[in-house]
Amino acid sequence: MKMLVANWKANGDLKLIEDIAGIFKGKNVQNIIFCPPSCFFSLLKKHIPHAILGAQNVSDKENGAFTGEVTAKMLNDIDISYAIVGHSERRIHFKEKNTTLKTKLLLCKKYNIAAIFCVGENLAEKSANLTFKVIKKQLEVAKPFVKNIIIAYEPVWAIGSGLTPKIEEIQNTCQFIKGLGYKNVLYGGSVNSENYNNIITINSLDGVLMGGVSININELNKIFKA
C-alpha cells in the first residue's frame, strides 16, 4: 500500500477535523500520515483514534529557552512518529539552511521520529537541467540517515501551482534518489484526485505527499477511495 502524507500547512479548524473524521472514522488509515498543525494533534486523535500523526516541523533545539519551539522529544512523548523536515516553505520563508536541517534530522533519529525529508529543484534549476545535481547536494545532510529516512521529492515549482513533472520525470528522479541508497521515496507537488492514479502507478515510488488536497474533503475522499 502506498503511503499518503497529508500536510495541512497552516490550515484547518475544528470543522475540518470533524469533516475528515467523517471520512476516515472506522476505516483502515494505517497508510495515511496526518500532519495537522501541532496544536490540533490531540483533537484529531480524539476524532480519529487510530490516526497516525506527523509533525510539519521540528525544532533544531533539543530543549531550553527557545520560545515557541516544539522539540523532537516532545513529539516523541505524545506519540508522534513522523516529522516533515526541510519542506521548501521552511527553507524559503524561514531561511532554514543545511546545518539546521542536519541538526533536525539528528534529533529526529535520537527521539525515534521518522523524518520525511523534502528535496527538489526550483524552476530555474529545472530549466538549467540541474535537478539531479540540486537533489544530490540537498541529500548530503541526509546521508548518515540513509537507511531509515523517507525522502519526499517535491519540485518547488510544482508546489501549490497545479503543475507537475511528467510521470517519467518523477520516475527518473525517484530512481535517481533510490540509486543513492534511499529506500522510501515519495512525490509531492500539486497531487490531486486526477493525477493521483497515474502518479501511484510509478513502481519505484512509495507514496505521495499532499498539501492542498489534504484539506479538501471532496478530493481527499476521491483519493482515499482510489
Which residues are at the interface with ligand PGA (CB under 6 A)?
A: 7, 154, 159-160, 188-191, 209-212
Residues annotated catalytic, as ranges = 87, 154
Q: Is the CB of 51 or the CB of 209 nearer to ligand PGA?
A: 209
Report angle CA 56, 114, 194 to the nearest 5 degrees.
Answer: 60
Q: Nearest approach, Cβ of 16 to ligand PGA (angstroms)?
A: 15
| Cβ-closest position to ligand PGA | 211
Judged by beta carbon, residue 159 or residue 170, the one nearer ligand PGA is 159
User: How far apart are CB 124 and ligand PGA at their closest, in Å?
Assistant: 19
DSSP 98-115: HHHHHHHHHHHHHTT-EE
Q: Which helix (H) or strand (E) holds 173?
A: helix 167-179
Question: Smaller CB distance to ligand PGA: residue 76 or 187?
Answer: 187
For ligand PGA, which is the closer residue by CB, 12 or 188?
A: 188
- Whole-number minimum distance, CB 199 to ligand PGA, in Å? 11
Shortest spacing between CB 162 and ligand PGA, in angstroms = 8
182: exposed, middle or buried (C-beta count within 10 Å: 0-12, 13-18, 19+)? buried
* Nearest partner of 7 among 224, 221, 209, 222, judged by Cα: 209
Instruction: Report residue 195 as a C-alpha cell.
Output: 493525477
H/E element, 136: helix 131-138
Give the other-Cβ count within 10 Å of 4's Cβ.
23
